[in-house]
Amino acid sequence: MKLKLKKGDFVMVISGNDKGKSGKILKIYPEKNMALVEGRNIRKKHTKPNAKNTQGGIVEVEAPIHVSNLMYMNGKTPSRIGRRIDQETGKIVRYEKKTGEVIK
């Protein structure tokens, strides 16, 4: 199944601990149907000392969220995403189902 969300999209979390919060997609994992959202689903990771973090310790990192728990947002209103063929260009485009606007 093709994912309807892309890197850089502004999304809202619709379920889980961060329900109602929004952020930008940093990375997509299509094989797992998951996305990494900026500042959401923070987890604590225990790390050994390394070149980046010489002291080691507990670091807070963002964990992936399943795409079924995310909803596309354009401004302040969340909307579902659909795909259709554009009349002028003949290419498949993404559009908001609530307003019918094409997503660029």
d(CA 7, CA 45): 24
More confident residue, 2 or 71: 71
Q: Is residue 43 part of a domain?
A: yes
Tracing tokens 């892309």 back to the chain, one arrives at 6
Length of the chain in terms of residues written: 104
Whether 53 is in a domain gets the answer yes
Q: Taking residues 89-97, what's their average pLDDT?
A: 93
Residue 84 lies inside a defined structural domain of this protein: no
The total number of structural domains that make up the chain: 1
At 60, list the tokens: 């807070």
- SS3 (DSSP) at 48: coil
Q: What is the CATH number of the domain that holds 67?
A: 2.30.30.30
The domain of 19 spans: 10-73
**94 lies in some domain:** no
Give the pLDDT score at 53: 86
pLDDT single digits (tens) 5-62: 999 999 999 999 999 999 999 999 999 999 999 999 999 999 999 998 899 999 999 9
At 34 the pLDDT is: 96
| 89 in any annotated domain | no
